[in-house]
Structure 1
C-alpha cells in the first residue's frame, strides 16, 4: 500500500474530526479495484477500495480529489446513517465544508479500455455482418440461435474474428 495514500486517508479523517468535533472509525484501505472506477466506499464494511492503475497514472489529483471523495462517503454514512443519497446534500456538505473541494461525482481520468475479441456472424442480407461478444458466441456454440431482424435468417459464424 503506497504510504502517500494511507497518509492522505488519515489526513482526511483528521480534518473531519476537527470539523465535526468527534472521532470516526478508520476504514480498511485496499488497492484491489479494477475497471473504470477510481475508488469505491463500502459503507457497511467500512472499506475503501482504490484503483491502483488510476492512482499511479493520476497520483496528484487522485490524492487531492478522489481520496477525500471516498472518505466523505464513509464519514457521511457514520454521521447520517444509511438512508442518505450517495452524492446527496450530506456528502456535498462534507466535500465543501470539510475538504473545501467541489463535490464532483465522477473523475475525468483517461481510461485505457482493454481490447476485446469479436466474433463475426453473417446472414444473406447485403449489410448482414454482426460482431458478437465472446459471451454471445459461447451461447451460439451451446445451441442458442440469433436471427437477422431484416431477413429473419439465422446468423451464422463466419469463422472470422477481430479485435476492437
Structure 2
C-alpha cells in the first residue's frame, strides 16, 4: 500500500468513526432526552486499548474519545459496532449520573442494553502490546536465576530490597544483560 493510499484509508476510517460517534450520541439524546454534545474524536491511541474516553473538566463541555488507529485498520466492523457505542455510553453515563459512578457499573450497563449492545468491558480483538518490557537478572541462594522488571531494578538501585519468594534471601543484581520481552501475554 502506498503512503497516499494509507493516508486516505486513515482519513476514511476517522470519518467513519466521527460519523458513528455522532450517530450514537444522537441516539442517546433521543433515548434519554438529553443534550449531550458530540465528543471530539482522535485516532492517537496505541497499545492494547481499543478506545478511551477523556471527560471534560467542566461537566457540560464536550468530551474526547481516543481510538486505536491500528485496530481501526484491522477490525473496522468491530470498532464501529462495539467500541464506538462502548465509549459513547461512558460519555452518556457521566451526563446522566455524574462523575461518581463506576466506569462499567450498572448505569453504564443499562445504557449499553438500551443501545442493543452487549455490556462487555473488554474487546476480543488481537492487539499486540506497544512496548517491550526489560527484565534484569538477579541472583539469590537458589540455583535458578531471578529477574526484576525495569521499575523494580531502578528501585533496587536506590536502596529497595527484594527477597526471593522461594528461599527468602535477598536478591542481588548480577550486572548481566537485561532480557527483553515482547510485551505482556
TM-score w.r.t. length of structure 2:
0.74
1:65 and 1:121, CA in 2 relative to 1: closer, same or farther beyond 3 A?
Answer: same
Q: Structure 1 pair 134/16, CA: closer, same or farther in 2 (3 Å)?
A: same
Separation in structure 2 between the aligned mates of residue 153 and residue 19 of structure 1, nearest angstrom: 60
Say if 2:96 is the partner of 1:79: yes
Q: Note if contact 1:24-1:75 (Cα within 8 Å) is conserved in structure 2.
A: yes
Q: Deviations 1:92-131 (Å, cap 9, x if unpaired)?
A: 222122x21111121112121343222211234323x111
Q: What runs of 5+ residues in structure 1 fail to find an aligned partner? A: none
Structure 2 residue aligned with 1:107: 123
C-alpha contact 2:141 2:169 (8 A) present in aligned 1: no
Q: Hey, what does 1:52 align to over in structure 2?
A: 69
1:29 equivalent to 2:41? Answer yes
2:152 to 136, 139, 143: 136
- Corresponding residue for residue 160 of structure 1: 177
Offset at residue 140 of structure 1 (A): 3.8
- Residue 106 of structure 2 is aligned to residue 89 of structure 1: yes
Q: 1:154 and 1:83 mapped to 2: Cα distance? A: 43
CA shift in 2, pair 1:15/1:130, >3 Å: same
- The answer to whether the Cα contact below 8 Å between 2:46 and 2:68 also exists between their aligned partners in 1 is yes
Cα distance, 1:143–1:8 mapped onto 2, change above 3 Å: same
Give the secondary-structure state (helix, strand or coil) at the position aligned to 1:31: strand
1:31 to partner: Cα distance: 2.1
For residues 92 and 145 of structure 1, the distance between their equivalents in structure 2, rounded to whole angstroms, comes to 44
* 1: CA distance, partners of 2:82 / 2:171: 51
3-state DSSP of counterpart to 2:24? helix
Asked if 1:126 is matched to 2:172, the reply is no
Q: Aligned residue for 1:67?
A: 84
What CA RMSD, in Å, does the superposition of the two structures yield over aligned residues? 2.4
TM-score after normalising by structure 1: 0.82
Show structure 2 runs of 5+ residues with no match.
1-10, 58-62
Q: Tell me the secondary structure at the aligned position of residue 132 of structure 1.
A: strand
After superposition, the Cα gap between the structure-2 partners of 1:152 and 1:42, relative to the gap in structure 1 and judged at 3 Å, is same
CA distance in 2, matches of 1:144, 1:92: 43
Deviation at residue 71 of structure 1 after TM alignment: 0.4
CA distance in 1, matches of 2:21, 2:171: 55
